[in-house]
Structure 1
């Protein structure tokens, strides 16, 4: 049994859910495989239309789901509402793009006749994290369903409820067995990923879990999409515009969802000539925007971290940096109606004077503590920003867009933002994912839809059609 407490009020039980046994996972996969055959036989417009129609069932329960998400994750209520609305947008977008992309391509010319079709993998096993549980599930479910696959989703045990309610509401409007949810810990994940009934794996989460998922999928020879987080640098050049709008974007790029976002700003590099100004701009932005407290309370913009373990880890990283000579500058205010002692709260802070080798800088802290580091030269900061083995996101901030794009192209990151970072810089049309050890495969963009199909070809070379050229003239392909 999975029991989940409210991280803002740890004496409050949000709910319980039964763990899915390995035998039950197998039965779910068998139902998915049976459903997938008929689903894949439908024309793409028919599948897309069914997915779009199914999203309508969620609209009446959005507010209920938002409150549930806030209570189980600690994400503030407005943020939870935004995630749910965006998840519906993702499902509808995936259906639309599938119609445009997954059309047969046929050529009949002097080189021969060629047919390229996009076939679904079959059954997709998706494993999703707790920090954005519904939207990160939708980014897998939408493209996979529209492409003709069935999907079985295993959410994080730290956020099992809202995503299950969301997906089951959508699934009720689709063929039985096509979209299912299983619950559990590592044993359930292993039963899902290691099954011979799974044809494609999609995972978002941390590196250690990603290694385990990748190893299981590799042993089964199952292709896997892995998005594994990052240690995103943001670089503020000497000509950065630090008005209130830019400061607010930068602040929330680091501290939205209490800093627990894979593409959050984790390291802030500021040109030395603008360092003091940037720190003051962020302090002023925090005074305007950051209020720590119960995520269901009006006016609260930052809730707790997800667990006591997370709170202890982030606090220890800050304490270690301070012991080494850094300064922790606490930001924002506290909601008067919230007792921070009841939950897993960590006050947001800027950490000044840390070194690149400090664990707070060198590792992904995944919490509300942002190290601010000075630099003097662009080549120097590029080397520092590209240091390490993670490469999910990065950003460059400058009044000169052309220069920012040129420097951004040299960042070792799968997605580089200009003059923004994190969610304010995403677009559905752009593929998102990491390089280096931040994973492989892409979500968002056309590439995110094409991850769930396999191009299959039928080809009649010109040489072997009626009246074709002699064999010797066509022994090797020419283009």
Structure 2
């Protein structure tokens, strides 16, 4: 049995789910394979009808689900409502987009007839983390089901409860298993799993890739980011920009793959930037009970996460915002800005996944670009400037799957904007048409003109493929 504590009140057990043994995983996958045989033969209109009803059911339960998500993860209630609401919007977008993305195409001309089909894989294993369990699961579940796959999802044992309820609301060829690495290994390494979609840390990604590689199972991997935010020398430090940056850094306690995790500012402007950042944090950053009004940051996920975060609070460490939490009751960490750490400091070179962020000065744009592009985690980045064209030109040189200009979050972005990564941070493209394409295989039927019934025999048969 997996019991989930409330990170804001760690003596409170929010709920529990039964752990799935490797033997039970085998039975679930076999059942999912039988689901797939039926589901893939179901017309797409019926498949999309299931997703439409799922969106309605989740939306109807949004209030209760949001409270449950806040209690099991420590995310503030508004963020939880936003996450689940976005999952609903994504479901509806998939319903609208799937008939276009999954439609077969046909060309019939003097060279013959060519039909391009998009077929499902079979059983898709979706392995997802705790920090955004609903949306990061839905990004896999919705397109996979729309395409005709069956799905078995395994959430993190640190956030199993809300997704467990959502899976029950969706139904159909969607199943869930619970557990840690052994459960995940049994799922990702199962012979009947035809595709694995994973979001999480590098260690987990290596394990999944190794298991999938033994069976040549295709994978979708997103392994995090150490996202830089680069301020050019004409960037304004106005209140609105600083407020956006602070919230982009400390949403979910900094425990977000695409959070702004390294801040770069011209050295001569560093002091002014720090003052502006501290002032913004005082305006918008309130640490406390995630269910309380006005709180914008809750606890970190666990005791281990709190210990790791505290170890990053070194050097010129400036406390941020209002701290209205009791660390004796929950896993609360005072958010901090560390000014001018060494470029090799762990806070700079590794993804901290904590409410502690470094700011570093720079003197040369080429040098700061090299620093921003350093490392293996090329997920996202942002550049800030009063000249949009200059910012876009700089953004083109980032080694990142996506780049923002004068912001560092997805607020207001269209679902047409893909989400992915370069280097080792991510092989998938979620949130957009590219994400739908991950869950189908392209199959081609070809009838060359020279071999059609009644066609004259080719003068040179060797000119045609065998």
TM range (shorter): over 0.9
Counterpart-to-counterpart distance in 2, 1:359 and 1:122: 42
- Say which is worse superposed, 261-270 or 60-69, in terms of deviation: 60-69
Match of 1:244 among 239, 261, 280: 239
Whether 1:334 aligns to 2:323 is: yes
Counterpart-to-counterpart distance in 1, 2:24 and 2:11: 32
Whether 1:231 aligns to 2:261 is: no
Report the equivalent of 2:303: 308
Counterpart-to-counterpart distance in 1, 2:175 and 2:346: 40
- Say which is worse superposed, 458-467 or 237-246, in terms of deviation: 458-467
Report the equivalent of 1:471: 460
Change (3 A) 1:116 1:328: same
Q: Secondary structure at the match of 2:57?
A: coil
Deviation of residue 476 (structure 1)? 6.8
Task: Verify the 8 A CA contact 1:48 1:99 in the aligned structure 2.
Answer: no
Report the equivalent of 1:194: 189
Deviation of residue 467 (structure 1)? 3.1
* Count of aligned residue pairs for this structure pair: 464
Report the equivalent of 1:59: 59
Counterpart-to-counterpart distance in 1, 2:187 and 2:249: 34
Deviation of residue 247 (structure 1)? 0.8
Counterpart-to-counterpart distance in 1, 2:187 and 2:174: 14
Counterpart-to-counterpart distance in 2, 1:470 and 1:154: 59
Q: Secondary structure at the match of 1:157?
A: coil
Match of 2:276 among 262, 276, 281: 281
Deviation of residue 60 (structure 1)? 2.5
Deviation of residue 475 (structure 1)? 4.3
Q: Secondary structure at the match of 2:352?
A: coil
Task: Verify the 8 A CA contact 1:32 1:150 in the aligned structure 2.
Answer: yes
1:394-409 equivalences under 5 Å are 394-409=381-396
Counterpart-to-counterpart distance in 1, 2:137 and 2:363: 42
Task: Verify the 8 A CA contact 2:326 2:332 in the aligned structure 1.
Answer: no
Report the equivalent of 1:427: 414
Task: Verify the 8 A CA contact 1:462 1:468 in the aligned structure 2.
Answer: no
Change (3 A) 1:10 1:462: same
Q: Give deviations 1:329-364, integer Å, cap 9, x for gaps.
A: 1000022xx422211111111100201100100100
Report the equivalent of 1:127: 127
Report the equivalent of 1:270: 265
When the two chains are superposed, the root-mean-square deviation of aligned CA atoms in Å is 1.5
Match of 1:353 among 314, 318, 340: 340
1:130-149 equivalences under 5 Å are 130-149=130-149
Counterpart-to-counterpart distance in 2, 1:228 and 1:123: 22
Report the equivalent of 2:424: 437
Q: Secondary structure at the match of 1:108?
A: strand
Deviation of residue 42 (structure 1)? 2.3
Report the equivalent of 2:360: 373
Q: Secondary structure at the match of 2:411?
A: helix
Counterpart-to-counterpart distance in 1, 2:432 and 2:456: 43
Q: Which runs of 5 or more structure 1 residues have no equivalent in the other structure?
A: none
Report the equivalent of 1:101: 101
Report the equivalent of 1:42: 42
Task: Verify the 8 A CA contact 1:231 1:364 in the aligned structure 2.
Answer: yes
Normalising by structure 1, what TM-score?
0.94
Q: Secondary structure at the match of 2:328?
A: helix
Report the equivalent of 2:2: 2
